[in-house]
Structure formats: structure tokens, C-alpha cells
């Protein structure tokens, strides 16, 4: 079978097409999946740049998120059969409940092989059926970006309908969060460097938009929009440049979900701005299989379709990475396998 290989820190040029042995044997609890679509995440770019914390010193198959078709099952598999459409949970060992270290030690495409390949064999416990309203391309975006947004909005806070949610930028996590938060009845504010992207966000239901280049002190605009109160939840994906601003924009008793660092994974927080207002800063680490199942049900009931910006073929994997690195995308970038 064909697969891609990445070396930590060898940039996008270091992505190479390789040949791996076909999967001929399955353990009794394993499912063999023909991969149909793989979505890219910011993490996949970080690996090419050598800045992802979990590093392998050898080449690995990149990427964590796929959707595909079951083409064989092991003798003791009970949850799936040939022909089922499935996706894999980001952490194969975090099935449900609270996060513990042992549940998040293993994941795909970080320091071990991932999913940018034609076929994969995985334990059935890590797989989830694709909701009926989604095709493979859309479903491939749920395991990381989708679950991260779900965890932030539905699991890590106690929002009531009509709560205020701030999302930063128009990448994969933020646009999924916009869709989910609107479906849950919240008011959503969004920032972007691009007025055209902000216009697109409005068509998806964003209640207010802020250009963070034109308004570098955008937290003040958020305070204005909330009559000085601040929002109930911020999905903080910006890091260095945004984290203190996000905290300032968080209201009394509100939550800043710490998710990422597209402007750098450092930054400083003034403890006083957490203390006054009894705000909480909550680290989000994707989520469990149970969260992926809840997200799938929610998207199906509400007919939510992830926003796909661009689809590339398997031969165009380096171009897909380049496209994402250029930051022109709105929502998700996906690779389709024939
Ligand atoms: N903790 C977790 O479990 C988890 C899970 C998934 C992702 N993440 C992290 O979350 C972050 C976003 O991931 P993603 O896959 O959604 O990335 P992405 O699709 O590449 O989106 C990045 C977007 O961030 C926006 N951006 C860039 N610089 C910004 C700034 N200074 N202020 C505000 N927005 C800025 C840009 O939006 P505009 O073009 O609109 O300006 C850009 O399109 C990454 O750091 C990633 O590592 C963490």
C-alpha cells in the first residue's frame, strides 16, 4: 500500500511517498479499514516544523484524522462489520470518563505512525461509526477539530442557551466551534485577519465579527459587544499573542478554554485577571471516544456539516500542507483517497 512519511523538523519538502506491506493478518479484535479521507490539523504542520512536543527520531506516517470503510474484521469483533463507515477516535485509549495520563499517551501521527495511508488495522475499541448525514470527507474532520470544539463547549463548561462564545480565527477548530455553538443556541463572536472570512462566518451564523489586524486590541471590542461583561467562553487557539487578551475578554465566572498556539505556544497571564471575576482557564486535550460519539449524534440531529475549504488528492499531499501553512483556509483542508 501507499503511505506518506514525515520526519520531525524536515519541513513540508521532507514528506515522501513510501510503500508499506499490505495488511494481510488481523488480530481477533482488529478492524481493517480502507481509508477514504484524511483531514489535516495544525499539529501536522507543527510536526514538519519540528515544534511538536512528542517527537520521533525516525520517519513516521503523519496525520491523526481519517474516515474510511471497513473491509475486514477480526474473529472477535462485535461492533463493526464489512462495509461500515468509520472514523478513529484521536486517543485510542481514552474511551470515556475523565482524562488520565495513561488514556492520552498514545495517539496517531505524533511520535508513532498515523493515518496518511491507504489502509490501516486498528482495535475496534478506538473506532466510531460515521453519522449517516456525513460523507467521508466531512467525517474525517470530526476526530480532532470537531471533538476539541465539542469538549470546549459541551463538556468543559456549563453553558446555558443564550451564552456568549468567542472563537479566534477561522481555522478548523474555530469554525467547527461556531457551528456547534450556534446549534446549541449561543451567541458567537469571531475574529479573523480577513474581512472576506468574517463575511463567510456571518453566513454561518456569527453574531458579531472583529478583524484582529484592524483592531489589535480586539478584546475591547468584545467587552463593548457584551456591555462590559465579557463572554462566557473563549476558545483560545492563539497562544502567545492572544492569551491575555482572551482572558480579558472572558467574563466573571467564565471559562477560557486553552486549546492552541497559532501565534506561538508561550505567553504570559496576569493572575489578577483570573482572580478578579473568578474566571477559569481550562486546558483542552482533544477528547474521548464518548465525546466523538456525542458530537456525531449532535451533528446528525442538527444536520451540521463541517466546513471544508479545499480537497486535495493523495498525490497532492505536499500541496495540501503548503495550502494549510499559507493560512488561507476557512475551516478544514482534506485529502481524498480514491
Ligand atoms: N488542545 C487540543 O486538543 C487541540 C486540538 C486541535 C487543535 N489545537 C490547536 O489549536 C490551534 C488551531 O488549530 P487548527 O487546526 O484549527 O488550526 P488552523 O485550521 O490552521 O487555523 C489557524 C487559524 O488561526 C488564525 N490565527 C492565526 N494567527 C492568529 C492570531 N494571532 N490571532 C487569532 N487568530 C489567528 C487564522 O485565522 P484567520 O485566517 O481567520 O486570521 C488561521 O486560519 C493550533 O494551535 C492547534 O495546535 C489544539
User: For 157-283, which CATH class?
Assistant: alpha beta
| Residue 53 confidence (pLDDT) | 86
Look up cell 511520535; give the residue: 111
Pick from 109, 140, 172, 260 the residue to mutate for probing ligand 1's pocket: most ligand atoms within 8 Å of its CB. 260
Decide if domain 2-144+287-336 falls under CATH 3.90.180.10. Answer: yes
| Residue 241 confidence (pLDDT) | 96
Report the separation in Å between the CA atom of 173 and the middle of ligand 1, taken as the mean of its atom positions: 7
Report the separation in Å between the CA atom of 277 and the middle of ligand 1, taken as the mean of its atom positions: 27
What does each of the 338 residues of the chain score in pLDDT, given as a tens digit? Answer: 999 999 999 999 999 999 999 999 999 999 999 999 999 999 999 999 999 988 888 999 999 999 999 999 999 999 999 999 999 999 999 999 999 999 999 999 998 999 999 999 999 999 999 999 999 999 999 999 999 999 999 999 989 999 999 999 999 999 999 999 999 999 999 999 999 999 999 999 999 999 999 999 999 999 999 999 999 999 999 999 999 999 999 999 999 999 999 999 988 899 999 999 999 999 999 999 999 999 999 999 999 999 999 999 999 999 999 999 999 999 999 999 98
| Residue 172 confidence (pLDDT) | 98
Report the separation in Å between the CA atom of 73 and the middle of ligand 1, taken as the mean of its atom positions: 37
- Closest ligand 1 atom, residue 285 Cα: 3
Cross-strand pairs, 208: 189
CB 305 within 8 A of CB 282: no
In degrees to the nearest 10, what's the CA dihedral of 244, 188, 42, 134?
160
| Residue 57 confidence (pLDDT) | 83
For 96-146, the pLDDT digits (tens) are 999 999 999 999 999 899 999 999 999 999 999 999 999 999 999 999 999
Pick from 171, 197, 209, 235 the residue to mutate for probing ligand 1's pocket: most ligand atoms within 8 Å of its CB. 171
d(CA 98, CA 208): 34
Domain spans, the chain = 2-144+287-336, 157-283
- Closest ligand 1 atom, residue 173 Cα: 16
In degrees to the nearest 10, what's the CA dihedral of 162, 167, 173, 179?
40
Nearest-5° angle of CA 289, CA 175, CA 190? 130
CA atoms 164, 165, 168, 172: torsion sign:
negative
Pick from 178, 262, 285 the residue to mutate for probing ligand 1's pocket: most ligand atoms within 8 Å of its CB. 262
Pick from 237, 244, 284 the residue to mutate for probing ligand 1's pocket: most ligand atoms within 8 Å of its CB. 237
CB atoms within 10 A of CB 126: 22
pTM greater than the 0.85 cutoff? yes
Across 57-90, b (16+ Cβ under 10 Å) vs e yields: eebbbbbbbbbbbbebbbeebeebeeebbbbbbb
List strands edge to edge, sheet with 280-283.
Answer: 208-211, 187-192, 164-168, 231-236, 250-258, 280-283
Q: Write down how long the chain is.
A: 338
Which residues are near ligand 1 (CB < 6 Å)?
Answer: 41-43, 144-145, 148, 168-174, 191-194, 197, 212, 237-238, 241-242, 259-263, 284-286, 324, 327
| Minimum CA distance residue for ligand 1 atom 42 | 171
Amino acid at each position: 500500500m501507499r503511505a506518506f512519511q514525515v520526519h520531525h523538523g524536515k519541513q513540508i519538502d521532507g514528506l515522501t511517498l513510501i510503500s508499506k506491506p499490505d495488511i494481510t493478518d488481523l488480530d481477533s479484535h482488529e478492524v481493517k479499514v480502507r481509508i477514504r479521507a484524511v483531514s489535516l490539523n495544525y499539529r501536522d504542520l507543527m510536526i514538519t516544523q519540528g515544534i511538536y512536543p512528542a517527537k520521533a527520531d525516525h520517519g513516521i506516517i503523519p496525520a491523526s484524522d481519517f474516515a474510511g470503510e471497513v473491509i475486514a474484521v477480526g474473529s472477535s469483533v462485535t461492533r463493526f462489520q464489512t462495509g461500515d463507515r468509520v472514523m478513529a477516535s484521536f486517543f485510542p485509549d481514552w474511551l470515556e470518563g475523565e482524562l488520565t495520563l495513561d488514556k492520552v499517551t498514545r495517539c496517531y501521527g505524533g511520535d508513532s505512525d498515523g493515518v496518511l495511508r491507504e489502509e490501516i488495522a486498528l482495535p475496534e475499541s478506538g473506532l466510531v461509526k460515521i453519522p449517516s448525514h456525513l460523507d467521508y470527507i466531512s467525517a474525517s474532520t470530526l476526530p480532532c477539530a470537531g471533538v476539541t470544539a465539542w469538549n470546549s463547549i459541551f463538556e468543559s463548561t456549563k453553558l446555558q442557551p443564550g451564552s456568549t462564545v468567542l472563537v479566534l480565527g477561522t481555522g478548523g477548530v474555530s469554525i467547527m466551534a461556531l457551528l456547534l455553538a450556534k446549534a446549541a443556541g449561543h451567541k458567537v463572536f469571531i475574529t479573523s485577519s480577513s474581512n472576506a472570512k468574517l463575511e463567510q462566518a456571518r453566513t454561518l451564523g456569527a453574531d458579531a465579527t472583529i478583524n484582529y489586524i484592524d483592531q489589535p486590541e480586539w478584546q475591547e471590542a468584545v467587552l463593548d459587544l457584551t456591555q462590559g461583561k465579557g463572554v462566557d467562553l473563549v476558545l483560545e487557539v492563539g497562544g502567545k499573542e492572544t492569551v491575555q487578551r482572551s482572558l480579558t475578554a472572558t467574563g466573571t465566572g467564565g471559562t477560557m478554554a486553552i486549546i492552541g498556539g497559532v501565534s506561538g505556544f508561550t505567553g504570559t497571564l496576569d493572575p489578577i485577571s483570573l482572580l478578579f471575576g473568578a474566571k477559569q482557564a481550562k486546558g483542552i486535550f482533544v477528547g474521548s471516544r464518548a465525546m466523538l460519539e456525542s458530537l456525531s449524534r449532535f451533528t446528525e440531529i442538527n444536520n451540521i456539516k463541517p466546513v471544508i475549504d479545499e480537497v486535495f488528492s493523495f498525490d497532492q499531499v505536499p500541496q495540501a500542507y503548503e495550502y494549510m501553512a499559507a493560512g488561507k483556509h476557512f475551516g478544514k483542508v482534506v485529502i481524498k483517497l480514491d
